[in-house]
């Protein structure tokens, strides 16, 4: 089982409009809603890849009730995703291990301009979490770690949660001997990386804010020196750069694509985690992560990925190994 932690879950709403015009009224052409927050997006993709997952974090209020109802009946893909060897794993179950809070779960709204494919994102801050609710989450998390093969800590912190929360969760995972991936930003990332997670996955902007450098290789190496065992940096349309104890690689999609980038980073996390659990080599983990993230950009719905595009892209992802030491 792979555990994902989403402290700031969300009900993701995606609105499609024929053309987004500032200061104008718009008629929505299509709309979808689904459980969201980075870790829930990761779990959805992991399930489609055939990996059993459990999700924890916080959910509350009327929005949280809708989120959990959708989560209970959620099938991550209408058809199972084909594995690279030609087998077709059925979507695996997603276990709801969320902690109920008094506050109302936030909503995120993605407005997709169907004429250009561009997306405008609006994110609410999330509910205020009390000390007792955080203590309950810690107990639930430690119980779940006993059956986990890997854990992903994903996304922003809701109000009321201390800035060192991810560092605390990283240390608990390391004590339990469970590989842990951290995907957050700002001060929670800075504190979390000092707790020595197995892997972090910042994007270019998050990496620059952490290290002060916008040169990808230099910044990624600097991030690793700060405590992470491995760093995989998302470089947007240029793919991903990995600096690991085993070497340095860059993975690039075969072509740049236009579309909705919402959830692309979460799909990459799912690719990296599933590859870790399956014992894939670093190049194969990166191929999967880049193919999944690119296929997510091509999907019109936030947090989903285009299965046919993924299968077509996977063997075409380019891998370059850097000969210099990590």
Q: CA–CA distance from 163 to each of 143, 184, 229 (Å)?
A: 23, 11, 21
Angle at 21 between CA 18 and CA 22, to 5 degrees: 150
pLDDT tens digits, one per residue of 90-129? 789 999 999 999 999 999 998 988 888 788 889 999 999 9
**What is the structure's pLDDT at 82?**
41
Q: Cβ(178)–Cβ(150) under 8 Å?
A: yes
Distance (Å, rounded) from C-alpha 171 to C-alpha 197? 8
Work out the pLDDT band at 302, boundaries 50, 70, 90.
low
Picking from 150, 127, 139, the residue whose alpha carbon sits closest to that of residue 274 is: 150
Given a contact cutoff of 8 angstroms between Cβ atoms, the answer to whether 40 and 61 are in contact is no
> How many angstroms separate the most distant Cα atoms in the chain?
55
DSSP 278-316: TT--HHHHHHHHHHHHHHHHTSSSTT---HHHHHHHGGG
For 182-219, what is each residue's pLDDT tens digit? 999 999 999 999 999 999 999 999 999 999 999 999 99
Strand 240-244 versus strand 247-252 pairing type = antiparallel
Map tokens 């809070």 to a residue. 101
Radius of gyration of the chain (CA): 19
Q: Which residues are catalytic?
A: 266
- Helix/strand/coil (H, E, C) string of 208-236? HHHHCCCCHHHHHHHHHHCCCCEEEEECH
pLDDT at 168 over 90: yes
Q: How many CB atoms lie within 10 A of CB 264?
A: 25
Cβ neighbours of 217 (radius 10 Å): 15
Please give the model's pTM, rounded to 2 decimal places. 0.90
pLDDT tens string 29-83 = 988 899 999 999 999 999 999 999 999 999 999 999 999 999 998 744 443 344 4
**Edge-to-edge order in the sheet of strand 10-17:** 30-36, 10-17, 106-113, 119-123
């Amino acid at each position: 089982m792979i555990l994902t932690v989403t402290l700031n879950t969300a009900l993701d709403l995606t609105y499609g409009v024929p053309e987004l015009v500032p200061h104008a009224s718009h008629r929505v052409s299509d709309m979808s809603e689904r459980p969201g927050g980075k870790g829930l997006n990761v779990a959805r993709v992991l399930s489609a890849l055939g990996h059993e997952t459990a999700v924890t974090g916080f959910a509350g209020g009327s929005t949280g009730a809708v989120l959990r109802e959708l989560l209970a009946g959620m099938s991550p893909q209408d058809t199972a995703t084909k594995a690279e060897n030609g087998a077709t794993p059925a979507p695996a179950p997603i276990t709801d291990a969320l902690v109920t809070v008094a506050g109302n779960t936030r909503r995120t709204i993605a407005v997709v301009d169907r004429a250009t494919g561009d997306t405008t994102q609006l994110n609410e801050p999330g509910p205020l979490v009390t000390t007792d609710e955080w203590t309950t989450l810690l107990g639930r998390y430690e119980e779940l770690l006993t059956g986990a093969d890997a854990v992903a800590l994903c996304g922003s912190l809701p109000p009321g949660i201390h800035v060192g929360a991810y560092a605390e969760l990283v240390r608990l995972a390391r004590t339990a001997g469970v590989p842990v991936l951290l995907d957050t930003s700002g001060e929670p990332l800075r504190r979390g990386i000092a707790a020595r997670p197995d892997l972090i996955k910042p994007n270019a902007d998050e990496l620059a804010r952490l290290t002060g450098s916008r040169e990808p290789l230099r910044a990624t190496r600097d991030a690793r020196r700060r405590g992470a065992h491995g760093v995989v940096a998302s470089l947007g349309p240029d793919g991903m750069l990995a600096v690991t104890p085993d070497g340095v690689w860059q993975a690039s999609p075969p072509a740049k694509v236009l579309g909705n980038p919402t959830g692309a980073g979460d799909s990459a996390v799912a690719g990296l985690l599933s590859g870790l659990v399956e014992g894939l080599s670093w190049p194969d983990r990166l191929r999967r992560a880049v193919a999944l993230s690119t296929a997510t950009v091509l999907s019109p719905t936030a947090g989903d990925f285009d299965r046919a595009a993924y299968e077509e892209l996977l063997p075409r992802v380019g891998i370059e190994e850097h000969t210099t030491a990590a």
